[in-house]
Chains A and B, each alone.
Chain A
Amino acid sequence: MMNLKRLATSSCILLIFTIKLYSQDVWDYSNSLKYANYLFQSKQYRFSAIEYERVAYLEPTDSLAKLRIIQSYRLMNDYNNANAKLEKYFPGRSPNYPENFAIEKVKLLFFEQQYTETYSFLLENNTIDPTKKIEYELGSLLMQHKWMETKILTNEYLKSNQKTQSIDYLYNISLQGLNIRYKSPYSAALMSAIIPGSGKVYTKQLKDGIYAFLIISAFSYLTYNSINHNGLNAGSILYGSIAFSFYAANIYGSFKSALRYNKKKNQILTKNIENLLIEQ
């Protein structure tokens, strides 16, 4: 009988634990964190941002939750909210946020393509690890296509530090950048003004150049022919306007083609930099 009583008492104690176990609040800190992590890992960033907000509210000292909020906003391309959160958590502490948050800020600036701001932020920051910092600095200079500055900065850094794989990669890009032979937009425009289509050929758009030359020549010939046979009439004016419009458009097009050529050359070199630095 005594044993039965003991069994009943111990069962009751066990049941109290089950209540504790089962009745745990799904809104509490640990469950919210569990759910928020699930949302973040399954890339449902819109919902994970809200859930991490709850986690951060329940446990204001949880800095990882705060970091995840900013990351969630960044990954859903809501940069304004991400920046606002950063300022809210560390008011007036820019640029010296805690390291992870400072790196997050750099990534945000990279995402927003504000490379000049990234570089000045990094210059003033002293919380990021120096090796990482130099990588980001080189990256932001390369994204601005400042090849020579990148080379000088790398050489200065390597005088007192060791070369890492990333720095070597970035340094090589700067060397390749220095070897790019850019096309001058003004030369392209001038060439097209002298011989229609030649500016396009100069910017390595051979087919466009030949096509433009043929079209402009054809309309110019039609204008000339029309004036020769019928004098100045509606037809010749129409052909003349078309020929002149295409001629002017080709000059402008050659200017833009040179810009496009230069941009393409830069992009070929810098396309992997963002992935290298942001996905670290």
Chain B
Amino acid sequence: MADEVGLRGDSADRLIIEADEGLATIWSRRDFFSLAGWGGIVAALGAGGLAFGRFMFPRVLFEPVPIFKAGLPEEYPIGTVSERWKQEQRVWVVHEPDGFYALLAVCTHLGCTPNWLNAENKFKCPCHGSGFRRTGVNFEGPAPRPLERVKIALAEDGQLLIDKSIQFRFEKGEWTKSDAFLKLRA
């Protein structure tokens, strides 16, 4: 600063007020306004960013209803895996001697729709070759965990009622829950 004064040396320099060492604070007025200005910009961008993040998650989703009626239990022969609802609802209905369970037809690898191969008694995913036993447990290919089971119950009119929004995971021990399996006398 002293150099500049020396270099210019005209009358305007007398207006430059040097900070007195004794009066110097950590924050000068300029530091304060600079920080306040940048702080304001960062705060505004941050608030806008957070708002945008929330903006991208709408409160209501217009997606297909996850609950459907799957017909009467008698329509499913014992010991079969039914692909009847796969196209429409992505669900297999399996009828075992002691009752029903419903498997979500969504591969646990990357979300493709596997096929039921009756002759080989397994589900096979066409995308990357994951294989699942008829219980839904994975045994080959890249799938990291068993297929998900969904809630199955009887509706008041005697039809099977399947709710895909309630899912049961084998690895969490949820398949033993009452809604994951519909016990019926054969």
Q: Do the two chains bind?
A: no
B interface, CB within 8 angstroms of A: none
A interface, CB within 8 angstroms of B: none
